[in-house]
Structure 1
């Protein structure tokens, strides 16, 4: 994360960068402080909620209050993915079931994968799209816009865990 902060500052890209983190582990104050450092540097931190069907507040970086934490849904029915973490740390959901991705067997290989690691890049891309389209240049502005678009869409997560947001990320073009 320090590399990203240094690079953003060196290239004067504050307010023009998004970092997706499809990773996770046990809750860590050090990791969450690093997320705060990204935020302070003007980098929008988008993180996967995790795949243990547990409270994302028990994991990092998903529990970082200044990250956009993304859970996974099945886009065919908007249901919370059975594996997706949940809870108050989750800000928004995005497709994370049966997502066509790159494979590792050749430079043209593909693979169909599931996980919040597939969901968070959707939101990272949305953040970058909104920054470019609407000229948003603060982490708060990007976060607020993503949540506002999710609220305005009327789409909600089905069969979700109580106490978890029902927001589904979208670009406002439903």
Structure 2
């Protein structure tokens, strides 16, 4: 009987802890405002970059590896990121982003397979992108929510972690490492 009474008192505490864990909020870009080096999106995504990445399903299993060659340029507050993907199965894909700076630290982006606009915010060394991607899987196209976090490590390297979800349920994650190629001497 004493054991049963003990559980009756602990159950409300356990329920409260679960509720608090479910209500935790993810970080905002401002969390990283003091982190260095400061990310200047127009400077970093300018020139040619190489990226290496993996896609993991929701269990954490790596289901696809890929490389990307990215050619980026800016004209004023409008940038073009031309990405060429090569996947471990030999397939290829191209995505061309158009980015536009809308305010200090704020960007919007469009691409043919992005539904609506991507919304980006830079603070400190971090960039958060949020968007919906039309993702083809086995002949069907799914609209999948992406939340990308990019962190500038130094003037050459940026790390990217993207969480994928649908209706709030995690589907998997993409992890990328970008490396900026040296600029050719004039």
| Superposition TM-score, scaled by structure 1 size | 0.26
Q: Which has the larger radius of gyration?
A: 2
| Superposition TM-score, scaled by structure 2 size | 0.25
